[in-house]
Amino acid sequence: MKCIVIVDKDWGIGKEGNLLVHLPGDLQYFKEKTLGKVLIIGRKTLESLPGGRPLSGRKTIVLTGNPLYEPSTARDGTQPIVCHSRADIEDALNRLRNEQGIDINEDVIVAGGETVYEMFLPQCDEMLVTRIDRSFDADRHFANLDSLAAAGSVRLVWESEQHEENGITYKFTRYERI
Residues that bind ligand NAP (CB under 6 A): 5-6, 13-14, 17-19, 42-45, 48, 63-66, 69, 84-85, 111-116, 140
Least distance in angstroms from the C-beta of 104 to ligand NAP: 19
Residue nearest to ligand NAP (CB): 113
Query: Which residue type, as a one-letter code, is found at position 80?
Result: P
* Smaller CB separation from ligand NAP, 66 or 98: 66
Identify the bridge partners of residue 173 per DSSP, sorted by sequence position.
129, 159
* Smaller CB separation from ligand NAP, 45 or 96: 45
Least distance in angstroms from the C-beta of 76 to ligand NAP: 21
Alpha-carbon distance of 86 to 153, in angstroms, equals 23
CA 30 distance to own-chain centroid: 9
* Smaller CB separation from ligand NAP, 82 or 154: 82
* Smaller CB separation from ligand NAP, 67 or 101: 67
* Smaller CB separation from ligand NAP, 100 or 133: 133
Give a three-class secondary structure readout of 102-153.
CCHHHHEEECCCHHHHHHHHHHCCEEEEEEECCCCCCCEECCCHHHHHHCCC
Least distance in angstroms from the C-beta of 127 to ligand NAP: 11
- Provide the 8-state DSSP code for 78: P
Least distance in angstroms from the C-beta of 99 to ligand NAP: 24
Least distance in angstroms from the C-beta of 16 to ligand NAP: 7
Q: Find out whether 40 and 116 touch, Cβ atoms under 8 Å.
A: yes
Give Cβ neighbours of residue 103 (< 8 Å, ≥ 6 apart).
97
Look at the chain and count its residues: 178
